[in-house]
Amino acid sequence: MTNLSTYTTPEPLSKALFKDYMMLSKFRLSTTVVGTTLIAYYLGIYKTPVEFSWLILFGLALGGMLVTASANGFNQVIEKDTDKLMTRTQNRPVADGRMSVNDALTFSAVCGALGLFALAFLVNGRVALLSLLSLFIYTLCYTPLKKQTPMAVFVGAIPGALPPAIGWVAVTGNIDYIAILLFLIQFFWQFPHFWAIAWMLEDDYRKAGYTLLPSYEGRSKRNAAQIIIYSIMLLLISLYPLMIKFSSINSLFVIVPLGVFLIYKAIQLYRTMTVESAKSLMFASLLYMPSVLLSYLL
């Protein structure tokens, strides 16, 4: 016989609970991810004879937000015990115990299903497939690997690099060479960007057993040199669209100064080895990616 006394009144929706769900979904990060997708969508409209569609734009934004929220939610469930160990993450709702694992899993699963449905029926099937791949790699590959090897960053760069490709495929319906090129540009961008963050948070990451810089050496000259190398590679791959006439020479006047500035910031980190230099590099990388994508419109 069921003991009815074990049931409790469901928690009413409150400002604090709403804030916790926003934190679970990493709402601000999700908007940044979707923003890159929408820039690439507009780039596709500008470069092809395909007509702009508000319905597709809405589906891309809504579906992208929901799938990204799903990935972030699953990530926080899997990492709830390690999140407790880090100052930066110990206040997350699942780690802090304010939200149950079941509630977080339900929220993440519903967001993922609704997001993929919106992308499949409002945008196209290939966009939904790429988003499912991103969700799968981020949740089931990157997240478990983070405690095992610094190579996890390379795995995590795959879902992190898919948003601009998804935006392009939303226009063309095909995973063509431009979609792959946009993917590669953001793929190489991930490394100076994420390693700058990892440098800033190295001490906090170590508390949880994470090594997210290029090697186990931590804040070393060798790891800083790796950031310089990948910054140079990023600049080179960013210039490739000009070589294939995807963009005009005008893009050069945006890409080269920004790329040189990013490399300068990476060299500055190599010279000083400070958290302040890493923070400066991180902000430079945030400026780089949307500016480069927009420059291809010139």
pLDDT at 1 over 60: no
Structure tokens belonging to residue 57: 């734009």
Contact 135, 112 (CB under 8 A): yes
* Tens digits of residue pLDDT in 112-138: 999 999 999 999 999 999 999 999 999
93 and 24 Cβ atoms separated by less than 8 Å: yes
pLDDT score for 208: 86
What was the pLDDT predicted at 8?
A: 53
What pLDDT is recorded for position 210?
87
Mean pLDDT along residues 210-232 = 94
Single-letter code of the amino acid located at 110:
V
Q: How far is CA 55 from the centre of its chain?
A: 24
Q: 144-190 pLDDT, tens per residue?
A: 998 889 899 999 999 999 999 999 999 999 999 999 999 999 999 99
The 10s digit of each residue's pLDDT in 223-259 is: 999 999 999 999 999 999 999 999 999 999 999 999 9
CATH architecture for the domain at 12-175: Orthogonal Bundle (1.10)
SS3 112: helix
Tell me, what's the pLDDT at 147? Answer: 86
Residue 298 has pLDDT above 70, yes or no: yes
Burial classification of residue 14, based on how many CB atoms lie within 10 Å of its CB (0-12 exposed, 13-18 middle, 19 or more buried): exposed
Q: Which phi and psi angles does 32 have, rounded to 5°?
A: -65, -45
